[in-house]
Structure 1
Amino acid sequence: MQVKTSYSKLLQKSLRTEYFSVGWMFLEFLVALYSGIRAGSILLIAFGLDSLLEIIAGLTLIWRLHKAEVAGMTESDIKIAERRSSLVVGSVLLLLGIYIFSISIYDLTAHQGAQDSLMGIGLAVSAVFLMPFLVHKKRSLGKALHSKALIEDGMCNITCAYMAATVLIGTLFTALFNWWWLDATAALFLCYFIMNEGREALHEGLAQEKKDE
């Protein structure tokens, strides 16, 4: 009984963390996309789209955690929910990587640079401080629940922190030295981290699928 109560508390903590994460990502999506379009910044637009994709991943995790709460759920059912969550998170990250790569190449070819955005900078500063907290929280809860999907969702937050830091660095150097190419080049650098995380999550989901067959 004690074990069941402890497990239920972990689920509730995980759900609260995911609800907060999704709420923040929704705000981040709206502000970053608006600021990015106004400033012509591929990094800010990518930042916003990353937030949208993280909303999808977060909602999938919420679904997976609610599944674990359902009375009568078997270990097999939970594994299926876990696997699907990993596949969604991995696919989301890979799609984001492809998008950023394509737009960055276009901007470099067209010699398009970004303008300053105070709103975007403020959002990026907030994300740099908040994301590590969410990563730590999801990682510790994921380990306690033996949920790799929850840990992988935390890795999405690491990607968000990287993107926020890159937005700040790109904006600073563009403003100081007028390096129009830095925005798109930094975005290309991020593609490696994003697609690597996506590949690992997708591989985890597919490997589990083969194991369950």
Structure 2
Amino acid sequence: MSEDNRTEPPSTAAAGCADGCCAPAGISPIAPAVATLAPARRAVLSRRVRLLVSATIAYNVVEAVIAIAAGTVASSTALVGFGLDSVIEVASAAAVAWQFSGRDPQARERTALRVIAVSFFALAAYVTVESVRALVGGAPAEHSGVGIALAAVSLVVMPVLSHLQRRAGRELGSASAVADSRQTLLCTYLSGVLLVGLLLNALFGWSWADPVVALLVAAVALREGREAWRGEHCC
């Protein structure tokens, strides 16, 4: 048979899908990747995802308590919003933890993705409402050294957790683990926005800077929510 008439093997037919996550319609996006993993490797990756999710939950609980308390003291909607984002991140991570606590994580994939998508939508809605309210006449926030320190620490911690979970999720072929890693990465963006806003407010009194940039983060959250709902995060 000539090379021109050969049919490319199904495993390599989809260009740009080396991780096996992009499957035709009607086929589970995680099935091809998971099928190629040895049971021992799959167990290691599942355990790694559970550990990373647990670390994310623990950090975000502490972050939420500190941010909401500091935001209340400083009358900062940005800090309070950041704390509530941490609560949403806990819900997203808990959904992945629930998925991988069962014997068949694949069976719980769709439900976990739905929970993550809803958390993105809730975050986008909250950030938008609070940003608009701050722009049209909200009370200016006071300086918060605790908030600045918290945002700086989160800028270091969150990217590491996001990268490790995304890498494990992609190898495992889990769209929900990848989606949750993006939720964690979005928290990194919010940390950066919060830090810039708090610094500009503390140094120059520019209270409008934070809500303006936060609206851009809300747009990103909305996009991520749509992708999680459609199960497109794996690729």
- 2:229 equivalent to 1:202: yes
Alignment of 1:124-135 (within 5 A): 124-135=151-162
* Structure (1 or 2) with the greater helix fraction: 1
Unaligned runs of 5+ in 2: 1-36
Percentage of matched positions with identical amino acids: 28
| Letter of the structure 2 residue corresponding to residue 64 of structure 1 | Q
Q: Within 2, Cα distance between the matches of 1:8 and 1:102? A: 42
Q: Within 2, Cα distance between the matches of 1:6 and 1:104? A: 45
Q: 1:37: how far off? A: 1.5
Q: Within 2, Cα distance between the matches of 1:119 and 1:179? A: 19
| Letter of the structure 2 residue corresponding to residue 39 of structure 1 | A
Alignment of 1:104-123 (within 5 A): 104-123=131-150
Q: 1:181: how far off? A: 1.5
User: Residues 117-136 of structure 1, C-alpha deviation per residue, up to 9 Å, x if partnerless?
Assistant: 11111111111011111111
Which SS does the other structure have where 2:70 is aligned? helix
Task: Quote the residue 1:208 is aligned against.
Answer: none
CA contact (8 A) 1:97 1:191 kept: yes
- 2:53 equivalent to 1:18: yes
Residue among 37, 41, 61 paired with 1:6: 41
Which of the two has higher C-alpha Rg?
A: 2
- 2:208 equivalent to 1:192: no
| Letter of the structure 1 residue corresponding to residue 112 of structure 2 | S
Q: Within 2, Cα distance between the matches of 1:95 and 1:106? A: 17
Unaligned runs of 5+ in 1: 206-213
- 2:163 equivalent to 1:158: no
User: Residues 37-59 of structure 1, C-alpha deviation per residue, up to 9 Å, x if partnerless?
Assistant: 11122221111111101111111
Task: Quote the residue 1:98 is aligned against.
Answer: 125
Alignment of 1:80-95 (within 5 A): 80-95=107-122
User: Residues 54-86 of structure 1, C-alpha deviation per residue, up to 9 Å, x if partnerless?
Assistant: 11111110111112xx2xx4xxxx434111111
Q: Within 1, Cα distance between the matches of 2:45 and 2:133? A: 45
Task: Quote the residue 1:209 is aligned against.
Answer: none
- 2:81 equivalent to 1:46: yes
Which SS does the other structure have where 1:101 is aligned? helix
CA contact (8 A) 2:63 2:150 kept: yes
Q: Within 2, Cα distance between the matches of 1:19 and 1:59? A: 8
Q: Within 1, Cα distance between the matches of 2:217 and 2:148? A: 18
Q: Mark the CA change 1:15 to 1:152 in structure 2 (over 3 Å): closer, same or farther.
A: same
Q: 1:155: how far off? A: 0.4
User: Residues 162-208 of structure 1, C-alpha deviation per residue, up to 9 Å, x if partnerless?
Assistant: 11111111111112221121222222222111111112111228xxx
After the TM superposition, which of the residue ranges 145-154 and 185-194 deviates more from structure 2? 185-194
CA contact (8 A) 1:112 1:180 kept: no
| Letter of the structure 1 residue corresponding to residue 96 of structure 2 | L
CA contact (8 A) 1:166 1:186 kept: yes
Q: Mark the CA change 1:111 to 1:42 in structure 2 (over 3 Å): closer, same or farther.
A: closer
